[in-house]
Amino acid sequence: MPPFDFSQWPPRISEKDRETLQFRAASYALAHGLLYLPVGVQPSVPTSAIHAPISLFPSPFPRERFEQAQKLQSIYNVLYSRIAMDTEFLDQVMGTEQGVGQVDEFTGQLWSGWRDLRDKSLAQPLHLGLFRSDYLLHQQGSELSLKQVEFNTISSSFGTLSQKTAEMHRSLESSTQYFNVSPHLTASNFPPNRSTAGLVEGLVAAHTAYNVEGSKILFVVQAGERNVFDQLWLEYELLERHSIRVVRKTFDELAQQAKISESNSALTVESPNESAVEISTVYYRSGYTPDDYPTSEQYQTRFTLERSRAIKCPTIPLQLAGGKKVQQVLTEPGVLERFLCDESKYGAHGVFPAHKLAELRESWMGMWALDMNGDAGVKQARERALGLVLKPQREGGGNNVYKEAIPEFLDSLSPRERSAWIAMELISPPVGLKNYLVRAGSGASVETEVVSELGIFGWSLFGQGKVIEEKEVGWLVRTKGKESNEGGVATGFSVLDSLLLI
C-alpha cells in the first residue's frame, strides 16, 4: 500500500450518510453511558445527561508507533515510581529550598506539607499510580515519529469513556461498514481497549495489599464535576467484578468526615447517616490544581489523608514526580541514568540496557529550563519562540503559552518567576488531517482540521523495599480542532476519539 495520506482523511461521505453516522454515534453514546452531566448547577439527584464530545471517524495512527507507545509504558511506570521514591531528587527539583517550590506557590505548598509529614508520621509505605503518558505524532518529511507531550501521575482521566468511544466506533463499523468508503475501516484495524478493567486492576491491587475486610476505596472528587460518568464506570467495575465498594467525597466533606485512628493511623470516613467505614485506598480525581485548595483547610485535609495508613493514588511525592519540571530535568545529562542504571540502588535486575534509555530519549522533544544559565534560557526561548511552548507546573489544560505569545509573556515574567517554567519544542503533527467533531450533547457535527493525541494508561504499585508491580492497561485518543492550541476535553476544546491502525 502507498504511504497513508493524512490530508485525505476522513474519506468523503454524502450528507445523508453523515446524518446516519451522527444519529448512530449519539444514540450509541447515550445508550452506553458515554456521558457528561449537562452544564449548569445540578440537582443533588441527577435527572439528565448528555453524550460526551466525540468524533464520527476514528483517527489513523501507524501501527508500529502505537505498539512503540504501548511498549514504552512499562519503563515509564518504573521510572516515575522510582522518581517518587527519590526524596533527595524531588527536594532538589520541586522543593521550596532549591527547587520550583521556591517560586511556584502550589508546588511549594504540597512539597512543604509532605516534608513536614515524611520524617515522623507517614503510616503507609506503598504508593499507587494510575498513569497516562500522552503522545503526538511528529512529522519530519515523510518520517512519522512518536513524541511525548507529558506524563500524568494524578487524576488521569477518560480511561473508561475512551474504551466506550473505541467501542462506539467499532459499532459504527459493524452497523454501517462506514459505507465502504475506505479499505482501512475494517474490524482488524480497530485495536481492543480494556482500560476500564485495567485501571480497576490497579485499584484492586492496592485494596488487596491493604488487606482489611470491609474496607472501601475513597474517590476524592470535585464539587460540580461534569465528567462523573468516567469515574462512575470505575466504581461499577469495582463493585460488580470485585465486590469492592466506593465512597465519593469532596475535600470539604472530608474536612468534617475523615478521621485518623490514634493507634494505627487507619483512615475512616463517617457520614451523618452512615456508620464509619475504613478506607483502603484514596483515589484522587481532584487535588491536581490550586483551584481545589481555595483555603488552607483543603491542604490540611490533603495532609491528613497523606499521613494515614490508606494507600494513596497518588501520594504527594508521586504527584510532584509528574511535574513538567521533572519531565524537563529528565532530559539533562545523567538524570535518566540515575533512575534506570544505578545497580547499587536498584540491583542487577533493576538496571535497564542502554538501548531502552535511547528509546525513551527518542520519544522526547527538546526541553530546557527558562532559568538555565542566567539569561540563556530566556534568550533561547525568544529566538526560537515560533517553534516552542512554555509550560508552568500545572495540570488540566489551558496553562501553556505558545509561539508568538511567548516574547511578550517573557517580558512580563520576573527573573525569579522564570524558574517555575520550562520551554519545550513544538511537536509537528501530520497536517491536513480532518474529522467530524460532535460537541457534548450538540447533535450536530463540525468538519474541521484536527490534531490527535494518544494517551497510554498504566498503573504501578510500589514502595521502599517492594518490587514494583506495574502494567500497561489501555489507551485514549483525544482529538482537537487545529485552531486551538490546547487539548483538554473537559475544557471544551476537544473530543474523545479512537485509533484506526494504518
Which residues does the annotation mark as catalytic?
Answer: 132, 150, 152, 157, 324, 391, 395-396, 478
Q: Is the CB of residue 190 less than 8 Å from the CB of residue 499?
A: yes
Residues 134-163 that bind ligand ADP (CB under 6 A): 134, 149-150
Q: Is the CB of residue 459 less than 8 Å from the CB of residue 72?
A: no
Q: How far is the CB of 327 from ligand ADP (least distance, A)?
A: 8
Say how many Å lie between the first and final Cα of the chain, rounded. Answer: 10
**450 phi and psi, to 5 degrees?**
-135, 165
Among 197, 277, 426, 501, binds ligand ADP (CB under 6 A): 426
The grid cell for 66 is 502505537
Q: How far is the CB of 1 from ligand ADP (least distance, A)?
A: 28
User: What is the secondary structure of 31-61 as a DSSP string?
Assistant: HTT-EEPPSSPPPSS----EEPPEESS-EEE
Residue 150 vs 306, nearer CB to ligand ADP? 150
Residue 424 interacting with ligand ADP (CB under 6 A): yes
* Enclosing H/E stretch for 132: strand 127-140
Residue 470 interacting with ligand ADP (CB under 6 A): no
To 5 degrees, how large is the angle CA 21–CA 23–CA 27?
115
To 5 degrees, how large is the angle CA 291–CA 295–CA 297?
115
Task: Tell me the Cα Rg of the chain.
Answer: 23
Q: How far is the CB of 395 from Mg ion (least distance, A)?
A: 4
What is the longest distance spanned by two Cα atoms in the chain? Answer: 69
DSSP strand pairing (59-61 vs 499-501): parallel
Query: Which residues make beta-bridge pairs with 278?
Result: 268
Q: How many whole angstroms separate alpha carbon 282 and alpha carbon 456?
A: 22
Residue 389 interacting with ligand ADP (CB under 6 A): yes
Q: How far is the CB of 195 from ligand ADP (least distance, A)?
A: 18
485 marked among binding-site residues: no
Q: Is the CB of residue 411 less than 8 Å from the CB of residue 317?
A: no
Residues 388-417: x where in contact with Mg ion by CB under 5 A, - otherwise, as a string: -------x----------------------
Q: Is the CB of residue 101 less than 8 Å from the CB of residue 107?
A: yes
Q: How far is the CB of 257 from ligand ADP (least distance, A)?
A: 30
Stretch that binds ligand ADP, among 28-36, 154-162, 264-272, 396-404 (CB under 6 A): 396-404
490 marked among binding-site residues: yes
Residues 127-166: x where in contact with Mg ion by CB under 5 A, - otherwise, as a string: -----------------------x-x--------------
Binding positions are 132, 150, 152, 154-157, 225-227, 231, 285-288, 324, 391-400, 402, 424-427, 453, 478, 480, 486, 489-490
Using CB under 5 A as the criterion, which residues of the chain lie in contact with Mg ion when the complex forms? 150, 152, 395
Using CB under 6 A as the criterion, which residues of the chain lie in contact with ligand ADP when the complex forms? 134, 149-150, 365, 389, 391, 394-397, 399-400, 424, 426-427, 453, 486-487
